[in-house]
Every structure is written in structure tokens, then in C-alpha cells.
Amino acid sequence: MVFAGIVLLSSCTAPTGHDTADSPAIQTPDKNKQSVRVKPDIPLACAASLLRPAKFITHSERIPVFEPTPEFENVPAIVDWGIKRIQVEPARFTNETVPALYRKETEKVLVMRERHELRGIPAVYKTIDRPVTMMPAHVRWKNNCTNRQNPTVCFENVPAETRIVKRQIIDIPNRIIQKHLPAEIIEITKKILVKPGQGTGPIIPARYIDVKVGKVKRVWTIKSTHNTYTKPRYETIQVQIKSREDQIRKFPVLCSNASPVHIREIQQRLKWQGFPAGMTGKLDKQSMKALTRFQQANDLFIGAVSPETLEKLGLR
């Protein structure tokens, strides 16, 4: 009976897995049973600067490209035009026996009186360039870059991406001016009879010319509507803005010459998370690429095995 009890106790305490020197604490998860696992103490004896890239969101930016200005309308003056008949040569005999005497005279004829008018002058525009930041400057991780000794080699400074938008802005505002319109005068040369002549035959009638003269019936006016502006124009552009700044911080990290046992532990966890790295026990290029993809997928600092990476892998 004593012997049977010892055998039964031994079978309860026997390990269910096959522990090796390479993975003292690793057990393949069993979905059908729960087991208590002891997390390995993975030392982070080195230090490195790691990167967590910025996050961006798309933002619609509405940019004015045409500046509005108050509206008004010029209503031109209305002028009544008439005819003024002016004699430029008197009547005379067809056959003059005693010639008539004449003198030449210049007459100034007022065609339109002097006046002042208020006139609206439209605004003068100029075109300017407005740079719009489509993507702000940021730091990113170079594609397929791995550097176990110095992760900062994989940091890439990306300059801001800009686009030039043409804008029409007011250079000289619209305005109302008083315009002076001088009198319109024409000069007519005509013959003035000084001494009548004598003669025979039919009389040649006097000669006249018609001059068109005007009179303002309604003055020039400006028609405006209160608070009425020309229609502004806008351009909507999709830009990227930072919802989080890129961050570079120094962390304690796993050394590149760390124990193969610890590295296999990390490689196994990466494989479970869907980022196979191979069970080499070395921080080789394939393992570093898998680690980088895992960190990017989980919004972690990129570049080396840090405390937050171990925590996300369930190793802390």
C-alpha cells in the first residue's frame, strides 16, 4: 500500500511537457486545458533610442481662392440730345453786280455742360501663391531596415509635402470717386454779312449746319445693395494632419548577444502572434524584420526588444 501511494504521487507531479535547455519555460498553449506558466526573466542590459512613428488623420481643408468684395452697379446718366441749327453763310444773289462784304467769325457752341459724377470703380485683384502642407514633416522607419546595434540608422526624416494654391485677393479695394466731366464745346467758322451786295437772278439761300447738343436728364448714379458681396470661391483639399507626434525615446533593450534561450522565447511568441521569425536563437535579419512588423502592428516603439514589447508578447 505504501509503495502504491508513492507511485500515484509521482505520476501527479511528473511534467507534462518536454522542457529543454533552450526553452525552460515555454509550453505550447493547450486550448483544452489551462496551465500556470512562469514568465522568464529576460534581462534588458543594453540601451537604444527607439521610434514610435507619428499618426495621421485625413482632414478636409477649405481654402479661399477668391476674395469677395462689396457689390455695386453704375447706372449711367441719361442725356437728351437735340439739334441746334447755326447759319454759317448768309443768302446772296446768284449774279452779284456789287459784291457783298463779309467777315469770318468763329462761334463756340456748347454741346454739353460741365458736370461732376460719382462713379464706382471695381476692385483690382492680384494672384498670390499660398503653400498648403499636404503632409507635415515626420520621422519614419525605413522599409526593410534592420540594425541590431544602432536602430537610429533606420530612422528616416521625411520633409513636409506642400502644394501651391493660387489665390485671388484684393489689391485695390473697390471705391467711389467723383469724376469731373468738363464742358464739351465745338468751334464753328461762319460768314457774317457786313455790307449787302447787289445783283440779279434767284437768291441763293443761306447755308446752315446742324450741331447735336445734349442736356442731362438724369445724372449718373450708383446702385448698391447693403451687405451684398461678390460670391467667394473655395477649394477643398484633403490634407494629412498629425493626431500624434513622432516620438524617439531611449529604452533598456535586449542586447544583440543575448542568451539564445531568451531569443527563442521571443521568437516563439512572435510566431504565436502571426509574425514567424524562425527558431534560430539569434537576432538575425529575419527575426528583426518580424519584430519590427509586430511592433508596427501594435503601435509600439520600433527598433529593439524593449520592456513594452516584452509585455505585449506576454513575457512580462
Determine the average pLDDT of the residues in 212-219: 92
- Give the phi and the psi of residue 12 in degrees, each rounded to 5: -75, -30
Question: Residue with C-alpha cell 529575419?
Answer: 286
Q: How far is CA 153 from CA 27, 58, 140, 197, 297, in A?
A: 36, 29, 11, 118, 21
The number of distinct structural domains making up the chain is: 1
Residue 229 confidence class, pLDDT cut points 50, 70, 90: confident
Compute the distance between CA of residue 87 and CA of residue 188 in angstroms, rounded to an integer: 10
Q: What 8-state DSSP symbol labels residue 314?
A: T
pLDDT at 37: 57
Q: Where are the alpha helices (DSSP H) in 37-87?
A: none
- The answer to whether residue 211 is domain-embedded is yes
| Strand positions, DSSP E, the chain | 46-52, 55-66, 70-75, 78-89, 92-98, 101-112, 115-121, 124-135, 138-141, 155-158, 161-172, 175-181, 184-195, 198-204, 207-218, 221-229, 233-244, 247-253
pLDDT at 226: 66
> Is residue 9 predicted with pLDDT exceeding 60?
no
- The answer to whether residue 271 is domain-embedded is no
> Is residue 21 predicted with pLDDT exceeding 80?
no
Residue 72 confidence class, pLDDT cut points 50, 70, 90: confident
- Give the phi and the psi of residue 31 in degrees, each rounded to 5: -70, -20
- The answer to whether residue 163 is domain-embedded is no
> Is residue 248 predicted with pLDDT exceeding 50?
yes
- The answer to whether residue 250 is domain-embedded is no
Higher pLDDT: 237 or 17? It is 237
Determine the average pLDDT of the residues in 233-250: 96
Question: Residue with C-alpha cell 524584420?
Answer: 289
b or e along 274-292 (b: 16 or more beta carbons within 10 Å of the residue's beta carbon)? Answer: ebebeeebbbbeebbebbb
Compute the distance between CA of residue 39 and CA of residue 60 in angstroms, rounded to an integer: 48
pLDDT at 301: 97
- The answer to whether residue 309 is domain-embedded is no
Determine the average pLDDT of the residues in 172-201: 92
Residue 88 confidence class, pLDDT cut points 50, 70, 90: very high
- The answer to whether residue 113 is domain-embedded is yes
> Is residue 198 predicted with pLDDT exceeding 80?
yes
- The answer to whether residue 178 is domain-embedded is yes
What are 115-138's pLDDT values in tens digits?
998 888 999 999 999 999 999 999
> Is residue 243 predicted with pLDDT exceeding 90?
yes
pLDDT at 38: 65
pLDDT at 27: 43
Q: Where are the alpha helices (DSSP H) in the chain?
A: 2-13, 260-272, 285-297, 307-312
Higher pLDDT: 2 or 216? It is 216
**CA end-to-end distance (rounded Å), the chain:** 45
- The answer to whether residue 68 is domain-embedded is no
Range of the domain at 198: 74-123+173-225
